[in-house]
Structure formats: structure tokens, C-alpha cells
A and B are shown apart, each in its own frame.
Chain A
Amino acid sequence: MTVRGTRRRGRLLLPLTAAAVALALASCSTTDPGTGTGDGTPVRGGEIVSVQSGAISSWHPGAVSAAQTFQRMQAVYGLLMYVDEAGVVQPSIAESFETEDGGKTWTLVLNEGVTFTDGTPFNAEAVKFNWDAIAEAGLGGGVANSFQSEVIDELTLELVADPIDPTLAYRIAESLTFIASPDSLGDQGVEYSTPVGAGPFILESADAAEGEEYVRNDDYFVEGQPYADSFRTVIIADPAQRTQTVIQGGADMMNGYEFWFDDAIGNPAVEMYRIESGGFRNFVFNTTAEPFSDVRARQAVAMVIDPNALVQANMSDPTLEGSTSIFPTQSPYYDAKFELSADLDAAQKLIDEVLADGISPDVKLLVPAAPENLRTSELIQLAVQQLEGLNVTLEQVPLSDWRTIAFANDDFDISFYPGIYDLNPVSTSLPNALGTDGRENFSNFSHPDMDAALAELRGASDEAGRKAAVRAIQEVFVEQLPFVPFAVDYRTFLLNSDMQNVVSVRPYILLTDQIWFANQ
């Protein structure tokens, strides 16, 4: 897939937005800003409050990770380009980003006149500076190391990808979309904590336990935006309490799962907004530690898990059905032959073999502390303990520390993953999840067959090629099982119903520059 189509759309996007904004401003000047009518005319003012589960760990533009970091960075840095809900790359601060030779060379053209909030120009030099810094610091999931860049002129940067990569736009939109002012970033690494960007808001103050405050950037490159006067985050560790906070009006937005939002049903003050693409719930093995460094052990555990029981316990809903496929049934990549099946006897035989080889039977099950994670993990523990010889202990850790402990420290054997893997678009998410050094590869999984299949995917130039590659990937997956899916689920936002113009982009964040509030 090339991004040529998007260029046309991108070309029109900016003038259209400008026109719309101009119209809006024109009508705004004749109405009192305090009485927004909610009829489609954006009204300035108000504060967007987003409730988050933890603090941002680093402001370095390469330290991109989960949605909670991404949302804050979007506020301060804006987005060079982004992946919209349909899985298509859209330029934002960039005017266009395209390749004419199937992914070998790419040309980035920036919008004119964009400046950072410290006055320095947002130009091709700045972009190259950031990407070089990220590459050198080893951040950004390795994407910055996969190409060379050259400044052509003030607004143009040329990239040469090595290896050839038709999907570079997605990967940049996911990992390299934040650009900080070079003057401000200097040679700092992850300790960079005074971000200066060209985004819709400016960071004013931050407290690691309570949240941060941001004010409108009046020089934001889109005239009239952001509509809100300020943006604020509130940090609350417990998901149930986050939900209550939004319902009671203490916050305007949170992202989570529908089954968290039962209390919100029927309440006119809040609205749910579901991302239709969906993903899967799973638990992860640590493939670099015993016993799950042995693929037989992983297969055995997969054979004793009942996905229906797991999903019912997880979401407290006895009517749900589980699924062991990594794609939902409506996805074009779904193939029923890749669903897993249960077989206790075969599983026991495998475990007996594994233990006979002297592999350690001690299994540490890491639980990110939250009631639904705990009961799902207890169920996993019960299921695994059906296998004689294995010895499972649960360990609870705070949700905010789970990533560090599981990902950075590898301190687990099985862990329930407190979220969903959304595999849309496949070209970035499959390598993230399954590739060696993938950004979401918690299991440290590394297998030459898988990497080969992933390379095939990257090089695929059309839908047929992609489907074939994904089939190959799934074949390796069901044999190697670095993680075990058990249910399909959908990310959902819980929003203040007065919030208008909700645009969601990967990875489940909202565009803060476009939000405005009715009934102010």
C-alpha cells in the first residue's frame, strides 16, 4: 500500500480544515462564547480533563509507549502524522509523506510556518535532529535506525529505507511522530523533562502523583485550534475509581473497556465511544525463562485453558464466549483453523516430558493489581495447576509498575496482560507483538521462522501478499504460542457528553486540538 492516496486527502485536509475553522470563527464572533449551542459550530473555551492510570515516564520524543504517554505527547508535541481509526496514515504537521518507488525512498514535506513554542522553526533540520537523537539513544522501537535521512530544503526531508519498507509511514506515525525543539532537547536522553514542542498545548506544571496541567498554545499551526483553553490530566490508579470520576464530572475522558462502564449506562452526562476494530485479550509467557522457554510447556498450558471461563470471569458476564484467535471473526485475516483446542491428557504428557528434562516447575504468575485481573489470574492458576508437577504462585504488583516489572525486568513466567492487543494495522502491530525486539513483545519471543514471515509481511505490496504473509505468521504463532489469546474485546472511551468533535487515533487517544465543548 502506498500513501499516495492519502497525499491527495492530506492535500485537501488542511485547506478544508482551515475553511471550516474560518467559518467557525466567523460565526463565533457573533455569538457569546459562553453559550455554545452544540450544533456543530466549535466554541472556544473550557478545559479538557483526561484521567490516566499513571504518570508519564519520560518526555523524550522517542520514549513512546502506551496510550497514556501518547496522549500527553500529542498535547505538547502535536503529531507529525497519525494512524486514524480506519488504519490509514494521515499527515498533520507534515503536509505529506510518500514514496514513489515502493518503499525505498520516502519524501517528507512539512507544512509551512510551523514553529516550536520557544520560537525556533519546525523545519526539516529539526525533524532530522530528533530522529537522529532517537536512533542514537536506541529509542523509538528501532524505527529510527531503519533509514537514513537527508535535508533537501527547509521543508523537505528525504529518507532512504534499509531494508526497503513499504510500511514506513505507519511505523513513523506510531513511533517517530513526536518532534521536540532541538534547542530544548539538546543531547538529553530519557531524563528530558521540560518538553518544548509545536503541539496544541504547553506543559505548565507536573506532579508524578496527581497529574499535569497544560495551557493553550496560541501559536498552534492550525488557526483557531485548540478550542479548549487548557488540558489537564488526573492520575488515579484504580480503574473503577477512574470510571466514577468521569461519571461524576471530575474528568471528561478516559479510555478503557466497556465492562468497566456499567455504572455509566443510562447516565446522560456521559457517553461511550467504542473503537470498532477490536483486539484480543491474552496472557503472556516469558519465553526466556524456565519453564516456558520450552515450547512444549507453553503448548501444554494453552491446552488446559478454557477461554470461555476466562473471559466470563474477566468481564463478570456469564453470557460471553471466548476466542483463541488473534483476529476477530469479522477481520479479513481471520481463519478458523488457527483456533486452539483443549486437551488435558495431551497437555499432561507434554509437561511430563518437560519436567523429565529437568526444567524448573516453578511458575510465577504476575498479576497487575486490579480485581478483574486478579480473578482472571486465579482462574489461570487453577487451570495450570491441573497439570501435575507444576507449581504456580501469584504475585500482585501495582498496575503502574507492571510494565517495568514485566517488560524491563522480565520478572515473571506467566502474566495476564492488562489490556488488549489490537492488530489493526497488521503491518506495524504484528512485528511489534511478535518480532524480535518488538515494542510490545513482552514475551521476549524470538524465532527465525517468525521473523522471516514478518519480513514477508513488510515486503508485501498488495492485499493478497499481506494475507499470505499473515497466514504464515499465524502458522508459526499457533505452534510457538508466545502468548495465548482468549477473548476479543474493544477499546472504549468514556466521555463527557458535552464533548464534541471526538477524533480518535492510534493508539486510542483523542486529538485534543479538535475537541470542543457544547453547553459551556
Chain B
Amino acid sequence: MSAPATTAVSVARPRRPARRGRIGFWVGLVWLSVLALGAIFADVIPGLPGPSEIFGPIGSQPDLSIGGLLGTDMIGRSNLSRILHGARISLVLAVCATAIALAIGVTIGMLGGYYRGWLEGIANFAATSLAAVPPLLLLLAIVAAIGASLFGITVALGLVMTNTYIRLTIGAVISNANREYVLAAKALGSGGPTVMVREILPNLIGVLGAMIPITMSIVIVAEGSLSFLGYGIPAPTPSWGGMIAAGADVIRKLPIVIMAPVATLFLTVYSFNALGRYLGARTDIRDTQL
């Protein structure tokens, strides 16, 4: 057979996806930065009313004023203001819940992966147990018991995300544990914890770092789902999910009320996913949605 025909099938990694990934990465980064800035400075943006302020007539179309840039909702509050304040909740929740998941998951995974034996069994058991319940169900059960406060929801979301990090860490630690640099450190007399923290952990940053944006996007979607169902952060604090639920019945009369939070949510989740994909996360074999 002539060479070109065979190379058409067995081709080394195609170039284009990497370049596509890069555009997505930068667009995502820009969007997230703008969103974060808007959320942080929401209180001091000149001309932007508070999220609970009755700013104008109900259901107005977008106009050129700052408060009315995205129109008003069915009570007369500024949609832009509510979206930015909702971003605060979403982003803070994302960061804190991910931090909790990281802290607990990496610790357990590290101990299990390094010491192996029954510790690894326990770590795997913990991960399996957490993964065995459908995430939304677990969230709902926790919220039913401890109520829908910011703290409660953060902890609940963190717990749900932990199993991913346990497994990720175990796998990464095991593959690292027999490398030369670890053996060298041990030979030099470093004890277990030191080796784990000083030597292995820094090498996990790549793998973990790729997963973090994905986790954040899952958390944001999860919080949105809870708010949509009515169990999220209680009113009057705005949340994207709550705004989407509230806009569902006037979708024909006034699509902006639902489209603004939908677009924002979509762009944010897409950005996090793009970040994660570019950093090399494997988004496929994860239950990454609720």
C-alpha cells in the first residue's frame, strides 16, 4: 500500500484541537475576570441599584441606563444588579466548596495512596460511598436536614465533590510514590508526612489544578439547580438558578428576565470547562453534571 493511505488513519495527535483549546481558554479567562470584577465591585459601580431595590416599572426592556442595562424583573428590580450579586454567591460558593473538597479529598487520597494497605482501602471506600448517591439527591437530603443556609449549602457541595479528588489523588500519588525523587528523599531520612507534603504534593498540582475549574463549574450548576427547585440560598439574596426559575413563567412576555441569567450561567460554566479542558482535565469519565 502506498504510504499516504496508511498515514491517513494512524495520525499522531492532531494539531487543531490544541489551538481550539487555547482560544477557549483565553475567552474563558477574560469572561471570568470580568465577571469576578463586576461581582466584587457591584456595590460601588456608579448608578447600579441594589439587588433588592425596586428600580423601575416591572418587566421593562433593557435601556441605556446602567441599572436598566438588562431590564427589570417582574417586581421591578434591576436584572444587571441581581446578576452581579448572584455572581458573588456563585463564585464564593464555587471557591469555598472546591476548597473543602480539595482539603478533605487530597488529605484522604494522599494518606491512602502513600501508605497503601488498608488506608487505601478506606480511602477508596470513602470515595465510593460518596459517589454512590446521586449528587442532587445527596444535596437535597443534606439541605432538608440542615436547612438552606450559605454555610450549609457550601459544606454540602464540598462533600459531594470530594470523591473526585480522593480518587484523583490516590491515582496520582501511587504513580508518583515509586519515582526516584521520592526514593531519594526517603533515603535522605525524610519521614512520611514530609515526603508527602514536600515532594509529592507539588507534583500533583498539575493534575489537581486541571480538575479545579471543572469542579467549580459543577458547583455553580449544582447551586443553580438547588435554587431552581427552591432550596437554594433563601430570598431576597439573588441567585442565578432562582432567577431562571422565576423567569420561566413569563418567558414569552419578557424573555430577557430568563435569558440574562441563562446567558451568564452558560458563559461562566463554559469558561470554567474550557479552562479545565485546556489544562488537561479529563472531563469525560466523570459525572460532571447534576
Pair A316/B234 contact, Cβ less than 8 Å: no
Residues of A within 8 A of B30 (CB): none
Which residues of A approach B to under 8 Å, CB–CB?
240, 262-263, 309, 312-313, 316, 318, 369, 371-372, 374-375, 377-379, 381-382, 385, 393-396
Asked if B249 CB lies within 8 Å of chain A CBs, one says yes
Residues of A within 8 A of B52 (CB): 382
B129 CB to nearest A CB, Å: 30
A316-B246 CB under 8 A given contacts A263-B252, A309-B54: no
Asked if B245 CB lies within 8 Å of chain A CBs, one says yes
Q: How far is the CA of A378 from the CA of B246 in the complex (A)?
A: 11
Asked if B230 CB lies within 8 Å of chain A CBs, one says yes
Residues of A within 8 A of B253 (CB): 262, 316
Pair B58/A382 contact, Cβ less than 8 Å: no
B234's partner among A375, A385, A393 (CB-CB below 8 A) is: A393
Pair B252/A313 contact, Cβ less than 8 Å: no
Most interface-central of A240, A378, A381 (chain B CB within 10 A): A378
Q: What are the 8 tightest A-B residue pairs by CB atom distance, in nearest-first order?
A: A396-B230, A371-B249, A394-B235, A313-B75, A240-B249, A378-B235, A318-B57, A375-B74
Pair A382/B236 contact, Cβ less than 8 Å: yes
Asked if B146 CB lies within 8 Å of chain A CBs, one says no
Most interface-central of A316, A377, A394 (chain B CB within 10 A): A316
Most interface-central of B59, B75, B248, B253 (chain A CB within 10 A): B75
Asked if B133 CB lies within 8 Å of chain A CBs, one says no
B143 CB to nearest A CB, Å: 12
Residues of A within 8 A of B252 (CB): 262-263
Residues of A within 8 A of B59 (CB): 316, 318
Pair A375/B57 contact, Cβ less than 8 Å: no
Q: How far is the CA of A316 from the CA of B75 in the complex (A)?
A: 8
Asked if B34 CB lies within 8 Å of chain A CBs, one says no
Q: Tell me the chain B residues, 38-83 only, with Cβ under 8 Å from chain A.
A: 52, 54, 57-59, 73-76
Residues of A within 8 A of B23 (CB): none
A374-B58 CB under 8 A given contacts A381-B235, A394-B235: no
Residues of B within 8 A of A375 (CB): 73-75, 246
Most interface-central of B54, B245, B253, B254 (chain A CB within 10 A): B54
Residues of A within 8 A of B230 (CB): 369, 396
B247 CB to nearest A CB, Å: 8
Residues of A within 8 A of B236 (CB): 378, 381-382, 385, 394
B264 CB to nearest A CB, Å: 19
Q: How far is the CA of A375 from the CA of B243 in the complex (A)?
A: 10
Sample of 16 further A-B pairs with CB below 8 A, known A262-B253, A385-B236, A393-B234: A240-B249, A309-B54, A312-B58, A313-B58, A313-B75, A313-B76, A316-B58, A318-B58, A318-B59, A371-B246, A375-B74, A382-B52, A382-B75, A382-B236, A395-B234, A396-B230
A321 CB to nearest B CB, Å: 14
Residues of A within 8 A of B234 (CB): 393-395
A405 CB to nearest B CB, Å: 14
Q: Tell me the chain B residues, 220-251 only, with Cβ under 8 Å from chain A.
A: 230-231, 234-236, 245-246, 248-250
Residues of B within 8 A of A381 (CB): 235-236
B55 CB to nearest A CB, Å: 12
Range, interface on chain B: 20 to 34
Proximity string of chain B (274-289) to chain A, C-beta cutoff 8 Å, 1 when within and 0 when not? 0000000000000000
Q: Write the chain B residue with the least CB distance to A394.
A: B235
Q: How far is the CA of A240 from the CA of B235 in the complex (A)?
A: 22
Q: How far is the CA of A385 from the CA of B254 in the complex (A)?
A: 28
Pair A378/B75 contact, Cβ less than 8 Å: yes
B250's partner among A309, A316, A385 (CB-CB below 8 A) is: A316
What are 23 residue pairs bridging A and B, where the CB atoms are less than 8 Å apart in the complex?
A240-B248, A240-B249, A262-B253, A263-B252, A309-B76, A312-B58, A313-B58, A313-B76, A316-B58, A316-B59, A318-B59, A371-B245, A371-B246, A371-B248, A374-B235, A378-B235, A378-B236, A382-B52, A382-B236, A385-B236, A393-B234, A394-B236, A396-B231
B256 CB to nearest A CB, Å: 13
B149 CB to nearest A CB, Å: 10
Residues of B within 8 A of A395 (CB): 234
B168 CB to nearest A CB, Å: 36
Q: Write the chain A residue with the least CB distance to B251.
A: A240
Q: How far is the CA of A381 from the CA of B59 in the complex (A)?
A: 19
B243 CB to nearest A CB, Å: 11
Residues of B within 8 A of A379 (CB): 75
Q: How far is the CA of A374 from the CA of B235 in the complex (A)?
A: 9
Residues of B within 8 A of A372 (CB): 249
Q: Write the chain B residue with the least CB distance to A370.
A: B249
Pair A374/B246 contact, Cβ less than 8 Å: yes
B74's partner among A313, A369, A393 (CB-CB below 8 A) is: A313
A83 CB to nearest B CB, Å: 33
Residues of A within 8 A of B235 (CB): 374, 377-378, 381, 394
Residues of B within 8 A of A312 (CB): 58
Residues of A within 8 A of B231 (CB): 396
A305 CB to nearest B CB, Å: 13
Q: Write the chain B residue with the least CB distance to A239.
A: B249
Q: How far is the CA of A377 from the CA of B73 in the complex (A)?
A: 14
Q: How far is the CA of A41 from the CA of B250 in the complex (A)?
A: 41
Q: Write the chain A residue with the least CB distance to B245.
A: A371
Q: How far is the CA of A430 from the CA of B77 in the complex (A)?
A: 37
A80 CB to nearest B CB, Å: 39
Q: Write the chain A residue with the least CB distance to B60.
A: A318
Residues of B within 8 A of A240 (CB): 248-249
A511 CB to nearest B CB, Å: 31
Q: How far is the CA of A375 from the CA of B254 in the complex (A)?
A: 15
B45 CB to nearest A CB, Å: 21
Q: How far is the CA of A375 from the CA of B242 in the complex (A)?
A: 11
Residues of A within 8 A of B250 (CB): 316, 371
Residues of B within 8 A of A263 (CB): 252
Q: Write the chain B residue with the least CB distance to A383.
A: B54
Pair A382/B54 contact, Cβ less than 8 Å: yes
B185 CB to nearest A CB, Å: 54
Residues of A within 8 A of B74 (CB): 313, 316, 375
Q: How far is the CA of A395 from the CA of B232 in the complex (A)?
A: 11
A239 CB to nearest B CB, Å: 8
A361 CB to nearest B CB, Å: 17
Q: How far is the CA of A315 from the CA of B230 in the complex (A)?
A: 20
Residues of B within 8 A of A374 (CB): 235, 246
A360 CB to nearest B CB, Å: 18
Q: How far is the CA of A375 from the CA of B245 in the complex (A)?
A: 11
Most interface-central of B234, B249, B253 (chain A CB within 10 A): B249
Q: How far is the CA of A460 from the CA of B230 in the complex (A)?
A: 48
Q: Write the chain A residue with the least CB distance to B231.
A: A396
Q: How far is the CA of A374 from the CA of B234 in the complex (A)?
A: 11
Residues of A within 8 A of B57 (CB): 318
Q: How far is the CA of A395 from the CA of B143 in the complex (A)?
A: 13
Residues of B within 8 A of A394 (CB): 234-236
Q: How far is the CA of A237 from the CA of B254 in the complex (A)?
A: 23
Residues of B within 8 A of A262 (CB): 252-253
Q: How far is the CA of A369 from the CA of B252 in the complex (A)?
A: 20
B169 CB to nearest A CB, Å: 38
